[in-house]
Amino acid sequence: MTIKSENTPECFARLDTVFPMGKDGLRKTPEDCMSCSFKTECLGNAMKGKGGIQAREELVDRAYESGMIGFFKRWSKKKYLKKETLKNK
């Protein structure tokens, strides 16, 4: 799913490198990535992969814990993401 060409850096579309989990439990883009000309394409490709689905599950869980979504909405979104995981294998 990752589209990597010869011009892209070695870290291209590696979710743990371009969008790592911070000490506070939130994902943040490192400062080094901000100056990279591939940053938008890189992060987009990283979020399309298996790691991106995991990151979206984290968002759903955080929304549920904060009361932004209810149980059934969380269940529905998690079910959809599990289906996407199986489709991407």
**pLDDT value of residue 3:** 61
**pLDDT value of residue 87:** 83
Residue type, 9: P
**pLDDT value of residue 5:** 67
pLDDT, one tens digit per residue, over 6-50 is 689 999 999 999 999 999 989 999 999 999 999 999 999 999 888
Please calculate the CA angle 48-52-56 and round it to the nearest 5 degrees: 120
The answer to whether 41 touches 48, Cβ cutoff 8 Å, is: no
The span from the CA of 10 to the CA of 38, in Å, is 11
The answer to whether 81 touches 53, Cβ cutoff 8 Å, is: yes
Per domain, the residue ranges of the chain are 1-48, 50-89
**pLDDT value of residue 85:** 84
Closest to 52 in 3D by CA, of 38, 37, 39, 42? 42
